[in-house]
Structure 1
Amino acid sequence: MNAGAVRHLISTHDLSDAELTALVERGAEFSAGSLSKGDQLSGLVAGIYFLKTSTRTRTSFSTAALRLGAQILSFGPDDLQTNTGETLEDTGEVLSRMLDLLVVRTSGDPADLRALARQRRMAVVNAMTADEHPTQAVADLVTLLRQFGRIEGLSVCYVGEGNNSAAALALTLSRFKGVRLELRTPPGYGLDPAVLRHAVDNASRSEATVTEVHSMDGATGGFDAIYTTRWQTTGTSKPDPHWRDVFAPFQVTSALWDKSPNAVFLHDLPAHRGDDVTAEVLDGPHSLAFDQAGNKMYAAMAVLEWCAGRR
């Protein structure tokens, strides 16, 4: 790629409001089957570098690249010379002379991705870091847009840990006019305060509202979507041996639909039936969880196309 065409997606902060909206709309167009696909990334090579396990994200980016005409090269956690002391900056410089895009998953610091992105030839995409999962948020918003035909004005209840998926959801939904996002997070496991402040700041500019409560008591209703994630975030562990007792009241059950009878259910998966959500909800008529997983491929197509400067 030409140096001027390189665009990284390491955080949602890398996207303007217009760029975020365009990515979501593009992903929805791919999802609806209204766009031809097969040559948008023709002639490009995408590296898929995953240091942590993945089913949906790795498969979605691999298939997205292939469906848009790129070739892929996959690396596992033991494949690169970073294991023998080569710096990430040097690794990025080398890979950028052979690859056009690099999709990276790590449960570590996003600064690692910034190091890989210091070169000027290869686009770097965050497929999950400890603090944020930006491409998951794009898929979430694609799912909402496909379901409701809009994101503006939607009411969403997020239940569970304030993890990287929750952070990305809060940082993106809060940019859309009139959105109401209510986060119900266990005490001690809420959003990072800096992330919450940023989401609230976004909301103040977009006439949206973002609130966080560390209890399920007094839960409100009228939601368009109810969202949860796995209690044990991928690649992490909890030091408190009694953490399940803290999380137990935050299980998503059918009772939440008493006040939101028309809400759809979202989950970034993997789900553990009987922990974060009951089987009745996950496998029930309100659930879009598996369509949401499918939309990760369409979101990845939009992201790769944008990062490659091919749109």
Structure 2
Amino acid sequence: MEAPVDDHRTTPRGLFSLAELTPGTIAALAHRSAALHRDPHAHDRPLDGRAAGILFTQTSTRTRTAFTVGALRLGATPVTYGPGDLQLATGESLPDTARVLGAMLDLLVARTAGPLDDLRTLARTGRLPVVNAMAAEEHPTQALADLATLTTVFGDDLTGIRLLYVGEGNNTAVALAHALAAVPHAHATFASPTGYGLPEAELKAATRRAGTTGAVIEQIHDLDLAPGHVDVLYTTRWQTTGTTKPDPDWRTRFRPFHVDTRLMDRWPDAVFLHDLPAHRGDEVAADVLDGPRSLAWEQAAMKLPSAMAVLEWTAAPAR
């Protein structure tokens, strides 16, 4: 497979937002993920001899495991950090921490409680590649795994795919909007309760990208307005990791966006995606999540090869 196009002409290269990658790079990373899913040994250990920092100050099952195991399989030695392991917990500044990590590590995968700009600070000050393993604004590696999962059903060419996202316009939804905006003639509809949709700036950015690819990115707040044809129905848990909702009655507002068999039956040929963890009975009914049309577990397994694809690309020398 041809290597993904290098989007960054300066070193180090990192993955912060899919909005910053070309459509060709997004597609190449998704295809590489699928290829590594089919054959986990289809690489020459490109990270052999490197030290990969794995910094997670927020809970994680799939993403942390995927990047740790992915680093090992690609030949790197992972150095893992939890929320209280670095001197950040005692008041050391982020730039000072970045300088130390950059002097010792070859790359860093990070999920922190701070904004995306914190990850940029780590990369810029530490002068090392940094992978966004989920920030408050976006979860880009999740969307790459999602695209790779869809290729297992619809083929490598996702042109024209139609997806309905139901639930909060959270960091997973933002990444999905940027990813699908890069797919030619894709049609992505984001259905959220009023006040809980995609951030306006992210929606505008994805819509601008969509204008160059023939894709459509739209937002609705009433499922009666959902498209008549959908290939994929996607949801996430209503309470995003590390966040709370100020409205005490928020569950009442989200209830119409519960995914059950009645909703799925509106699109009898659609597959179901969920980025997990799931709260059965809240955002999704158990018989949908565990049913024959659900790809949630294949989607979870795809996190490992997608992590490997991202690590491989991030650690590659700029050309």
TM-score scaled by length of structure 1: 0.95
Partner of 1:60: 66
Give the deviation of 1:212 after TM superposition.
0.5
Distance 1:147 1:98 in 2: 42
Instruction: Select 2:121's aligned residue among 109, 115, 140.
Output: 115
Distance 1:238 1:257 in 2: 27
Give the deviation of 1:28 after TM superposition.
1.0
Distance 2:175 2:309 in 1: 17
Q: Which moved more, 1:217-226 or 1:51-60?
A: 217-226
Give the deviation of 1:259 after TM superposition.
3.0
Matched, 1:166 2:198: no
Instruction: Select 2:258's aligned residue among 251, 258, 280.
Output: 251
CA RMSD of aligned residues (A): 1.7
Distance 2:168 2:282 in 1: 13
Amino acid at match of 2:190: L
List alignment gaps of at least 5 residues for structure 2: 1-8
Partner of 1:177: 184
Partner of 1:104: 110
Partner of 2:147: 141
Distance 2:247 2:125 in 1: 41
Of all paired residues, the percent bearing the same amino acid is 52
Matched, 1:125 2:131: yes
Partner of 2:26: 20
Amino acid at match of 2:214: E
Distance 2:10 2:245 in 1: 43
Give the deviation of 1:106 after TM superposition.
1.9
- Runs (4+) of structure 1 exceeding 3 A deviation are none
Matched, 1:209 2:193: no
CA contact (8 A) 1:174 1:199 kept: yes
Distance 1:231 1:261 in 2: 24
> What secondary structure sits across from 1:118 in the alignment?
helix
CA contact (8 A) 2:12 2:123 kept: no
Distance 1:180 1:204 in 2: 12
Partner of 1:287: 294
Give the deviation of 1:81 after TM superposition.
1.2
Distance 1:33 1:79 in 2: 35
Cα deviation, 1:141-177, whole Å, max 9, x if unaligned, reads 1111122112211000000000000000001111111
> Aligned residue pairs: how many?
309
TM-score scaled by length of structure 2: 0.93
Amino acid at match of 2:267: S
Distance 1:146 1:5 in 2: 34
Partner of 1:196: 203
CA contact (8 A) 2:54 2:68 kept: yes
Distance 2:169 2:243 in 1: 13
Give the deviation of 1:270 after TM superposition.
0.3
Instruction: Select 1:73's aligned residue among 79, 83, 93.
Output: 79
List alignment gaps of at least 5 residues for structure 1: none
Give the deviation of 1:5 after TM superposition.
5.6
> What secondary structure sits across from 2:142 in the alignment?
helix
CA contact (8 A) 2:132 2:141 kept: yes
Partner of 1:276: 283
